[in-house]
Chain A
Amino acid sequence: MVESSFDDKTECLTILVDGRFDYSCHKLFKEAFVSAKKAASVYEIDLSRVTYLDSSALGMLLLLRDHAGGEKADVRLKKPNGAVLDILKIANFHRLFDIEE
């Protein structure tokens, strides 16, 4: 399940993913950032309820990073659980994203 909300004041788009973060979330996740009314300046991905994340989820995060401006993107991955953090670290994603444990 994917939910998103936009804070007008901080221009922050928060996307919350619940359960398994894999290919089945692809459409919803992409819609969440492509269809936002306003361009966000900060993206927060709440991973606290993600139980598992696979390589296509990593791909979706890269897609979001690209959408948010690539090198200049401000994308924060929040509260991943141990297993999820493990996967993010193996992929060295801390070099591309702010990971807030």
Chain B
Amino acid sequence: MEQILNILIADDNPSDRILLKAILSQFGHNVISAVDGQEAVEKFNPNTIQLVCLDVKMPRKDGWEAALEIQQTAGDLFVPIIFLSGVADPIALSNCLRIGGTDFISKPYSPALITAKLNAIVRLLVMQKTLEEQRDAMSLYNEQLVHDQNVAKVVYENITHSNCLKDPALSTVHYGTHTFNGDVILAAYKPNGGMHLLLGDFTGHGLSAAIGALPLADIFFDWTKKGFLMRQIIPEINARLKSILPANMFCSAAFVDIKVNNKSIEIWNGGLPDLLFFSQQSKAPARFESKNLPLGILPPDVFECQIDPVTFVPGDRLVVFSDGVYEAQDKSGAMFCHSVLNPLYEGEIADDQALDWMVEQLTKEGVLENPHDDISCLSVRLDTNIGIESPDRGVPTSHHEAPADFSFEYVLNADSLRNTDPLPYVLQIITTVPGLSSFSSQIFMILSELYSNALEHGVLGLSSYKKSSSDGFSQYYDEREQRLAALTEGYVKISVKVTSSGNERVLALYVEDSGDGFDYQNISFDMSNSELLYNRGLALLDQLCHKLEFSKGGRGVTAYYHWQVGQES
């Protein structure tokens, strides 16, 4: 560990000064001399001097004062100071060492002792330099990391937050343990009104947990916008996560589909604590337990969707939270689910206060100061206007609109009826018509009402009177599934025709089924009786369309939709 040092020495005794300089020079070091403390301070330059030797007793400025000033000049740079002293002044020496002197050399000088001490100092300097370099490298690395994380965070938030979480029906609480976290809350309006919601919790915390949220959010938003159903989106997300995540990573999640047309929600719970449904009719909330494996575990061929349907009346509320809440520990060490949350489960907390109350409990029990897990809660006030009158639905843009004139027919026979949902594809073709894309939500709603009527009442022969009670409502959907699975005969034909005349555009949607038809003469389009769980579909259609026309004894329905171009819509 050979190193040439620039050494500043200060001693008012000329013979001692010259002797020390001679000894140090002999080892090859460069020596700068000063006759007292004042001169030493003036000659000290922290960038060139690596070691300072100060006599304790000097005129003008003694070693103690000079050392203080030199340390101040040196700032963050480490410059060791060695005091030179005779045996006569032990107290002065101890004072000097106390303020940060590295060592001392006693007079008269012994070349052997000085060599040993210099070697020790050189080692110290080398170590110090290595440490400084490592520290600088670390802080540079950390800066880089923070920068990268911030950039990634912007991208991450753009993808996971391009949603409608600001909708007045929703309130959310979110506490992450890191810059990134493994919890996501996603919400998106469906093209035919209503909303899809997803609260997800990926294994682990931090960046590695957050990364899976990107494909999840991507599929969620994209497929919802295109009009796919919850039971189509969930398997897609599962398959994608299964193919990209390592075996030990998965996403516990709850998916909620709010259907405003028939005042119902559908709940899929895979690995999250029970969802709580607060109905105004009963005190304690209904609990919807996890009936599915989390997303990203099962391969697509064995994945299944266990979904719970529920009907709601405006004002009912759904509360969802991640296991960060459920498994949080109170001050006595008990898990929240067995202690703190009991009043919530028993219905003693007003449902619209549930979130605030939970945050209060988490704060009180000290969980938020030191969270072990990411914490997310979501509360939805259910209503029939969700996703219909929302302000940020996306403003339609007016642009030059070319005339359109086309038609197509799409016939689905039994096999296809079982296995496909034609609506997103049909919608996609229709919305290629210039100007029509701004009405896509209404078109989709008309199309999906017509199609589900044709399929459920026509082809499958289900009676909508079944839906008149809440129990019957879920029976109805069970039966729909059974009959559809067993379907061997039947068809639904969808015909689309778009015509233009001047500024007027007309879309004619014709849907025909293989069923028995129905008595359309006596149908009531009265929406005032909105408590009815059935028949609301046709009344709704009547309002949305310009004209509704039945044919073939009720087996065929044509909906006419008119719009104008060349004006602000």
Contact = CB atoms under 8 A, between A and B. Distances in A.
A55 B204 CA distance: 7
B154 interface: no
B203 A96 contact: no
Contact of A83 (B290, B292, B297, B335): B335
Nearest to B272: A90
A96 B293 contact: yes
A66 B296 CA distance: 13
Contacts of B191: none
A92 B248 contact: no
A87 interface: yes
Contact of A91 (B204, B293, B337, B338): B293
Given A90-B273, A96-B293, A62 B204 contact: no
Contact of B247 (A62, A83, A90, A92): A62
Nearest to B322: A55
Chain B at the A interface: mostly helix, strand, loop or mixed? loop
Interface string B273-305: 100000000000000011111100100000000
A95 to B, nearest CB: 6
Given A23-B204, A92-B270, A55 B297 contact: no
B479 to A, nearest CB: 26
Given A54-B373, A90-B273, A91-B271, A59 B248 contact: yes
Interface in A32-66: 52, 54-56, 58-60, 62-63, 65-66
Given A91-B294, A92-B271, A55 B203 contact: yes
B250 interface: yes
B340 to A, nearest CB: 14
B66 to A, nearest CB: 53
Interface in B189-214: 201, 203-204
Interface bin, chain A: 20 to 34
25 contacts: A52-B327, A54-B372, A54-B373, A55-B204, A55-B250, A56-B248, A58-B250, A59-B247, A59-B249, A59-B250, A62-B247, A62-B248, A62-B297, A65-B247, A83-B338, A87-B323, A90-B271, A90-B273, A90-B289, A90-B290, A90-B323, A91-B290, A92-B271, A92-B291, A92-B292
Given A54-B373, A92-B291, 17 more contacts: A52-B327, A54-B372, A55-B250, A58-B203, A58-B250, A59-B203, A63-B248, A65-B247, A87-B323, A90-B289, A90-B323, A91-B290, A91-B293, A92-B294, A95-B293, A96-B293, A96-B297
Interface of A: 23, 52, 54-56, 58-60, 62-63, 65-66, 83, 86-87, 89-93, 95-96
Interface of B: 201, 203-204, 247-250, 252, 270-273, 289-294, 297, 323, 327, 335, 337-338, 372-373
